[in-house]
Amino acid sequence: MAKKMGFAPKVEYQPKFCQDIVNHMASGFSFDSFGAVIGVHRVQMDRWTKYYPEFQEAKDLAFLKCLYFWEDKGIKGMHAGKDFNAAIWIFNMKNRFRHYGWTDTKEFMLPDGAEISKTTTIEELYSLETKRRKGIEVAKKVEKLALTQAKAED
């Protein structure tokens, strides 16, 4: 008979995780791999960032420490000569730190705040334009209604 596999006991949030995540990521490791260290899924850690503001602050600082770790590796690597694999380092940076500007993809913001990028499809652009036009139509109707009400009050 097959043995049933058990799950690890549920890990409760501990304030010490704030310093632990900073130390972990300052060594170059990812946010997700911290979950492996303490036995928690990424989803649970994301919940903690919502319920515990200090954990969100620690996560933000940890990402900066991780960025520093990898940028430092790159700077030192540039002086290391043949022992440094720049292609792997760049690949790592672009995949880990997109939200810090490490990307080849340029995103553009439309006047209404919608973002477009090189990967935005024609259908998505059409949908954005349709929404924009509908918004203009609604704004014109609201303006016309306001003028009508203002004239009626005079």
Q: Where are the domains of the chain?
A: 12-104, 105-154
Sheet strands (E) in the chain: 108-109, 115-116
CB 21 within 8 A of CB 58: yes
pLDDT in tens, 88-107: 998 899 889 887 778 776 65
Report how far residue 103's alpha carbon sits from residue 99's, in angstroms, rounded to the nearest whole number: 8
**Structure tokens, 73:** 């590796």
Kindly report the pTM of this predicted structure: 0.63
The per-residue pLDDT for 152 is 78
With pLDDT > 70 as the criterion, what percentage of the chain qualifies? 81
**Class of the CATH-defined domain 12-104:** mainly alpha
Q: Residue 110: what pLDDT? A: 59
**Strand bridging mode 108-109 / 115-116:** antiparallel
Higher per-residue pLDDT: 13 or 109: 13
The number of beta carbons lying within 10 Å of the beta carbon of residue 35 is 18
Model confidence at 117, pLDDT cuts 50, 70, 90, reads low
For position 109, what pLDDT does the model report?
A: 59
